[in-house]
Amino acid sequence: SGSRSAVGGAAPRGQLKGKRKVLAEPSGAEMLTVDKRRREGEVAEGGGAGSLGEAVRQARLRFAPSVQDFKYNKKRVRLVSQDSYLKDAAKGVVYWMSRDQRVQDNWAFLYAQRLALKQQLPLHVCFCLVPKFLEATIRHFGFMLKGLQEVAEECQELDIPFHLLIGFAKDVLPAFVVGRGIGGVVTDFSPLRVPMQWVEDVKERLPGDVPFVQVDAHNIVPCWVASDKQEYAASTIRRKIHDRLSEFLTEFPPVIKHPYPSAAPAEPIDWNACHASLQVDCSVKEVTWATPGTAAGLAVLESFIGERLKSFGTDRNNPNRAALSNLSPWFHFGQVSVQRAILEVQKYRSKYKESVDGFIEEAVVRRELADNFCYYNRNYDKVEGAYNWAKTTLKLHAQDKRSHLYELKQLEEGKTHDPLWNAAQLQMVHEGKMHGFLRMYWAKKILEWTRSSEEALKFAIYLNDRYELDGRDPNGYVGCMWSICGIHDHGWTERAVFGKIRYMNYAGCKRKFNVGQFERRYDPHQLGQ
């Protein structure tokens, strides 16, 4: 129909896209004004004044008045539904927020607002809160809910109703769409099987005439653009990503105060009742060092740039030094955009070249490689998903005698013979974040001390997902698979149990950093273990 506007990016195979109707631009000064009272940038974690938050707000405004005045790169978008046209009688557009839990610097949110502005329709944000998710505990749900509360407040300031729908998306989102006469649904992207299934389930249940699109708002280079296959290693994806950065690593336009209000507002949310109603394990306590939400995450980014970036290049493998960004919890929950972090960090390249290049390697190449692995390998968390050389060598050494064998409980309580391993485990249990270097050592020792590589992988993923605040992430599955199954690595000198899988040992750690200092910091007696 000539009166409808296409919402999608890449159409499903075999479908031709029709003519796109050019709709009148909404006018009026109001839509160009971003509410000055925005919370982003106020005082947050680490006592930072939040000047970065204000600086990025200004940068967005300088870049474009709104997403409508910006040439949106449609390669970020792909069509999930068959139909790609908004129906004439549509009463609104929905952004179904899932992985990317932030308002600004979010390509999915921006795309939804762009559609709504073009069609002069209200914009809604829905988040579907499930009572249980993949071993997540109150540590994770608490962090997420407080971040969402900030999202809801920001949405309110922008006249965009935020709806917290309780239940699985397939059960609550289609009913919302039908009930409100929504004309199009935009969601974000995760390569993990559970959220991929949620998208499939919603697709099945949405009315056939409601177009549904997905935007990769997590990766800088969209996962399906970076590569159309499982990449073998960082060396094979690095160039593909770097070659695309000039196209995708742009500033963001702002999400603006929405000029087309909804007739029916969102139901008020009782966040405390919501917190209390969760059916999750409350024995893994919330952490105090990491304040949830975008404002706090941007303050951590600011403190990284001001205090730790200079030593990231030289000290990032030393668990006694404060050289890491610490941003993984905010990245994992999508509270801070990695693209924003890179835009800010790369400004310091002439000053700290080694550090900035190292950070881009970790946060872009390694992280996007992890999404690539999970997207193209359905066995991303199983030994079956490993390369043949790794499966063969692990099988050959399956019967090798283990020097120590531990049950899950002993590992969980940090009661092995190795004080460094125990200290790393306790750091994770108490703080929700183990140092990146030790995560490799930690997982490799689980391979050494359990009955099989299958058991090792199961235990490592269980512990990682239960205690790490950034757990249940493609980076976590790939980190465990790298350590235990040689994913993205190559064969090394053959030895017992490991076969050709890369080995790490205590003596090697001692050569790299002061192991005793780390062990004293996470002494089980002091931690009351």
Ligand X SMILES: Cc1cc2nc3c(=O)[nH]c(=O)nc-3n(C[C@H](O)[C@H](O)[C@H](O)COP(=O)(O)OP(=O)(O)OC[C@H]3O[C@@H](n4cnc5c(N)ncnc54)[C@H](O)[C@@H]3O)c2cc1C
The residues of the shown chain that bind ligand X, judged by CB under 6 A, are 316, 324-328, 331-332, 362-363, 366-367, 370, 436, 439-440, 443, 464, 468, 470-471, 473, 475-476, 479-480, 482-483
DSSP 369-403: HHHHHHHH-TTTTSGGGS-HHHHHHHHHTTTSPPS
Nearer to ligand X, 115 or 300 (CB): 300
Q: How far is the CB of 114 from ligand X (least distance, A)?
A: 27
Q: How far is the CB of 110 from ligand X (least distance, A)?
A: 22
Q: Which residues of 61-70 are buried (b: 16+ CB within 10 A; e: fewer)?
A: beebbbbbeb
Q: How far is the CB of 257 from ligand X (least distance, A)?
A: 31
Q: How far is the CB of 316 from ligand X (least distance, A)?
A: 6
| Residue among 189, 140, 190, 182 at smallest CA distance from 163 | 182
Q: Backbone phi, then psi, for 166, in 5-degree steps?
A: -95, 120
DSSP 17-49: P-PPPPPPPP-SGGGGPPPTT--TTSS-GGG--
Element (H, E) at 445: helix 436-448
Nearer to ligand X, 210 or 369 (CB): 369
Spatial distance between the Cα atoms of 104 and 110, rounded to a whole number of angstroms: 8
Nearer to ligand X, 472 or 500 (CB): 472
Instruction: Report CA 27 to chain centroid distance, whole Å.
Output: 35
DSSP 342-357: HHHHGGGTTTSHHHHH
Q: How far is the CB of 151 from ligand X (least distance, A)?
A: 20
User: How many Cα neighbours within 13 Å face the side chain of 445?
Assistant: 22
Nearer to ligand X, 185 or 509 (CB): 509
Q: How far is the CB of 339 from ligand X (least distance, A)?
A: 12
Nearer to ligand X, 83 or 470 (CB): 470
Nearer to ligand X, 124 or 488 (CB): 488
Nearer to ligand X, 174 or 319 (CB): 319
- CB-CB contact of 21 with 2 (8 Å): yes
Q: How far is the CB of 407 from ligand X (least distance, A)?
A: 20
Contacts of 201 (CB under 8 A, 6+ apart): 168, 169, 170
Q: How far is the CB of 235 from ligand X (least distance, A)?
A: 14
Q: How far is the CB of 325 from ligand X (least distance, A)?
A: 3
Nearer to ligand X, 117 or 438 (CB): 438
Nearer to ligand X, 318 or 475 (CB): 475
Residue position matching structure tokens 């917290």: 164
| Residue among 260, 301, 241 at smallest CA distance from 105 | 301
- CB-CB contact of 243 with 101 (8 Å): no
